[in-house]
Amino acid sequence: MIDVIHKNNLIDEIIIKNEEMAVHVLNLGCTIKNIFVKDKEGHFRDVVLGYDDVFDYMRYDGYLGACVGRVANRIRDGHFTIDGEDYHLAINNGPNSLHGGLKGFSYRLFNYTLADDQVTFSYLSPDGEEGYPGELDLQVIYRLDKTTLTIEYFAQTNKKTLVNLTNHTYFNLNGEATHIGDHLLKMKASRYALVDTDGLVTGEMKDVTDSPFDFRNTKAIGEALKAADTQIAIARGLDHPFLFDEKQDQVSLYSAESGIHLTVSTSLPQSQIYTANYLDGRMGKNYEPLNAQSAVCIETQYMTDAIHLEKDPAVILSPEDRYHEMTSYHFTIK
């Protein structure tokens, strides 16, 4: 079942729901505003951070719940070269370009169509938007099946360009913006990427063994956040790419307080795990402050700054190809 709430003449809120779940999505940035799931007592909890006022998604940074692109994460010096041609992007995060630039997909209004259990968002990004080459025809599909939300991404271009899309939802399975340290995290990832003081990957990958980054067995996120580790200190917590060892059900997150368990499965090769280290106390839903480390983002994506680090970068999309990736979020009670 789908409902549409017209907030104003610009922003619509689309509600996809069934007896077990309800997902509220905005046509602004394909933003996930709410995910209501049942806890162990059978009560609904909203397990994502966000704002009551939809205009706050335009006012603030942080990308809460948004579709991020054309390129998620950072591009070194906001510069890259394709086929000998140089391109320059806005510098909006230290010396680097972050999450698509000054007005990436997170801040764009999408067209949409509805079906019984899904909404299909579309956006035509013109050649040169935010400095990226090529016209990009983008579709983002949100589909709800029982207690599984699936996001599919499709994109085509008329000129070689970069594409690396993700969703930037801030999860807290307690249903409020409490410290995320009590959540239990498990990942099928034996390597992670190091970052510098600007949050950009250095190009060095390390084995997680005997480090705070080893989540191959379930452990509390707080164990990593409290660790005396240079990388934890640099990032103010977790804000690192983890490289997956397997092709499905790569990440799980659990709150003993609510009993809610989340399993994330993706076609993408890695995820940036970010413990909301830069939230600044701004007011969120129900007039509650959104403080640092009050959520965790599971940003499935290609390698950060792949255009500079990989020989044949996966982020390059050619006109003869079609970008197609998916990530699903499956909720259960334990």
Active site residues: 168, 299
Distance CA 133, CA 246 (A): 33
b (16+ CB within 10 A) / e for 104-116: bbbbbebebeeee
Q: Give me the helices (H) in 31-119, please.
A: 56-59
Torsion of CA 299, 301, 303, 304, to 10 degrees: -50
Residue 56's identity, in one-letter code, is: D
DSSP label at residue 144? E
DSSP letter string over 298-315?
EEEES-TTHHHH-SS-TT
The residue length of the chain stands at 334
- Whether the link from the prior residue into 216 is cis, omega within 30° of 0, is no
Cβ(283)–Cβ(247) below 8 Å: no
- CA end-to-end span of the chain, whole Å? 27
